C-alpha cells in the first residue's frame, strides 16, 4: 500500500486510478451485408483488411475463432475491439460461397501458411458475387446457371462485376438436384412428385444456385411454386437443407450431390453444374490466393474432391479473364 501511495503521489492521481485497466482502442470497420445481420453488443466477428477497407463478418460458427468484438454499431459501420495482433488483419484471406469444399481448401491452405487466417463465409452464389463487388471478400464462389444461354456463372459475373477486372477459375463440377430422405420413403422420382400433398419441401434463398435450378425445373414442369408444401421455407446453406432432410423435417430440398452424400441422403439428379471461383486480378499474385488456386491442381486435393462426389478434371482451369 505504501508503494501505491508513493506512485499515486508521483503521478498526481488517486490510488484507485492505478488499478483501473485502460480500455482497449476500438477500430472502425465495415459490417459486410449489414442489412442481413442482427448483431448483439458485444458480438464476435471475423476481421480482415481487404484493399483499403477493414471488413467485419459475424462469426456464425460457435467454434470459429474471432478476431474482434463489436462494441458499437451505427448502421453498416461498427467499432470493434481487436482480439489479435493488428498484423493478423493483413494476413487474412476471406472466401465467400456456398460450396463446403471451400472449407476443405481453407484447411489445406492453412497448412501451407501457418500464420495465415482463412475465413470461409458460407453464403449463396449471388450474395458471394455481391460481396466481391463491394470489396468485402478476396474470392467469391458461384454456381449460377443461365437457362437462356446454357452458360454457367459468366453472365451473372459480368452483370454484378461490370467494370471490374477479374479471373474466373473452375473449382470443380458437381451435380445439382434434390436431396431426399434416406432410402427415399416417399418414392420421389421426379420434380412432379413435389406437388403431392404428402411431400414437404424445404428451399434455399433467392439468389442461390440451387434455388435457380429448382425454380427452372418447376417452371418447365408447369408447377406453381406457391402450391408446393414448404416452398417458402428458406434455409441459408446446403448443409442446413441437408440437416433438415436428414432430421425428417422435410422430404426433399434443392441440394448438391456432395452434400447429400455426406449426410447419407438419397438424391435425385437434375443438372451438372460448374462451380467457379471469381478472383480480382489485383489479388492473383498475392501468395495466399496464388497458392489457393495452385491447390486445385494438386493430386491430394483432387482426390479428396473426387471422394466427396465432385468431378475434378477441370479443377484449376482458367475459364476466362474479364477486363
Q: Which of 36, 27, 120 is nearest to 70 (CA)?
A: 27
What is the model's pLDDT at position 113?
A: 85
What is the model's pLDDT at position 77?
A: 96
Whether 233 shows a pLDDT value over 60: the answer reads yes
pLDDT in tens, 38-50: 889 999 999 999 9
Mean pLDDT of the chain: 92
For 26, 31, 44, 69, 89, the CA distances from 23, given in Å and listed in that order, are 9, 22, 18, 13, 21
Whether 7 shows a pLDDT value over 70: the answer reads no
Contact status, residue 277 vs residue 171, Cβ threshold 8 Å: yes
Share above pLDDT 90 across residues of the chain, in percent, rounded to a whole number? 83
Q: Which of 88-92, 154-158, 243-247, 280-284 shows the lowest mean pLDDT across its residues?
A: 88-92
pLDDT in tens, 48-74: 999 999 999 999 776 668 999 999 999
pLDDT in tens, 122-133: 999 999 999 999
Max mean pLDDT among 32-36, 61-65, 242-246 falls in: 242-246
Cell numbers placing 184? 427415399
Q: How many CB atoms lie within 10 A of CB 66?
A: 18
For the segment 183-194, the average pLDDT, to the nearest whole number, is: 97
pLDDT in tens, 295-321: 999 999 999 999 999 999 999 999 999
Whether 211 shows a pLDDT value over 70: the answer reads yes
What is the model's pLDDT at position 62?
A: 63
For the segment 82-105, the average pLDDT, to the nearest whole number, is: 93
Q: Count Cβ atoms within 10 A of the Cβ of residue 133 and give its class: 0-12 exposed, 13-18 middle, 19 or more buried.
A: buried
What is the model's pLDDT at position 175?
A: 98
> For the chain, what is the HEC assignment?
CHHHHHHHHHHCCCHHHHHCCCCCCEEEEEECCHHHCCCCCCEEEEEEEECCEEEEEECCCCCCCCCEEEEEEECCEEEEEECCCHHHHHHEEEEECCCCHHHHHHHHHHHHCCCCEEEEECCCHHHHHHHHHCCCCCEEEECCECCCCCCECHHHHHHHCCCCCEEEEEEEEEEEEEEECCCCCCCCCCHHHHHCCCCCECEECCCCHHHHHHHHHHHHCCCCHHHCCCCCCEECCHHHHHHHHHCCCCCEEEEEHHHHHHCCCEEEEEEEEEEEEEEEHHHCCCHHHHHHHHHCCCHHHHHHHHHCCCECCCCCCEEEEEC
What is the model's pLDDT at position 124?
A: 94
Whether 230 shows a pLDDT value over 50: the answer reads yes
The answer to whether the bond into 183 is cis (omega within 30° of 0) is no
In angstroms, the first-to-last Cα distance of the chain is: 69
Q: Count Cβ atoms within 10 A of the Cβ of residue 163 and give its class: 0-12 exposed, 13-18 middle, 19 or more buried.
A: exposed
Whether 145 shows a pLDDT value over 50: the answer reads yes
Whether 8 shows a pLDDT value over 50: the answer reads yes
What is the model's pLDDT at position 20?
A: 53
Cell numbers placing 212? 435457380
The pLDDT-based confidence of 21 (bands split at 50, 70, 90) is: very low
For the segment 246-270, the average pLDDT, to the nearest whole number, is: 97
Amino acid at each position: 500500500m505504501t508503494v501505491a501511495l508513493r506512485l499515486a503521489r508521483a503521478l498526481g492521481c488517486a490510488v484507485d486510478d492505478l488499478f483501473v485497466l485502460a480500455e482497449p482502442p476500438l477500430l472502425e470497420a465495415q459490417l459486410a451485408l449489414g442489412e442481413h445481420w442482427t448483431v448483439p453488443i458485444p458480438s464476435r466477428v471475423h476481421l480482415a483488411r481487404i484493399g483499403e477497407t477493414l471488413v467485419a463478418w459475424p462469426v456464425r460458427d460457435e467454434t470459429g475463432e474471432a478476431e474482434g468484438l463489436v462494441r458499437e454499431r451505427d448502421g453498416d459501420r461498427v467499432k470493434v475491439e481487436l482480439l489479435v495482433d493488428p498484423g493478423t488483419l493483413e494476413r487474412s484471406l476471406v472466401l465467400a460461397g456456398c460450396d463446403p469444399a471451400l472449407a476443405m481448401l481453407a484447411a489445406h491452405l492453412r497448412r501451407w501458411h501457418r500464420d495465415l487466417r482463412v475465413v470461409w463465409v458460407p453464403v449463396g452464389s449471388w450474395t458471394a458475387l455481391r460481396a466481391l463487388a463491394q470489396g468485402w471478400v478476396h474470392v467469391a464462389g458461384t454456381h449460377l446457371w443461365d437457362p437462356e444461354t446454357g452458360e454457367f456463372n459468366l453472365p451473372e459475373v459480368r452483370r454484378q462485376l461490370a467494370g471490374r477486372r477479374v479471373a474466373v477459375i473452375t473449382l470443380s463440377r458437381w451435380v445439382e438436384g434434390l436431396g431426399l430422405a434416406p432410402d427415399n420413403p416417399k418414392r420421389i422420382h421426379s420434380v412432379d412428385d413435389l406437388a403431392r400433398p404428402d411431400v414437404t419441401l424445404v428451399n434455399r434463398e433467392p439468389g442461390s444456385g440451387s434455388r435457380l435450378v429448382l425454380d427452372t425445373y418447376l417452371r418447365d414442369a408447369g408447377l406453381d411454386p406457391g402450391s408446393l408444401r414448404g416452398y417458402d421455407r428458406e434455409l441459408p446453406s446446403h448443409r442446413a437443407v441437408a440437416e433438415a432432410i436428414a432430421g425428417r423435417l422435410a422430404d426433399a430440398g434443392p441440394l448438391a450431390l456432395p452434400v447429400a452424400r455426406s449426410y447419407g441422403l438419397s438424391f435425385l439428379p437434375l443438372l451438372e453444374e460448374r462451380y467457379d471461383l471469381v478472383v480480382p486480378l489485383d489479388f492473383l499474385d498475392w501468395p495466399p490466393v496464388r497458392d489457393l488456386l495452385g491447390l486445385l491442381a494438386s493430386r491430394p486435393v483432387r482426390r479428396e474432391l473426387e471422394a466427396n462426389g465432385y468431378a475434378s478434371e477441370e479443377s484449376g482451369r482458367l475459364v476466362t479473364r474479364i477486363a
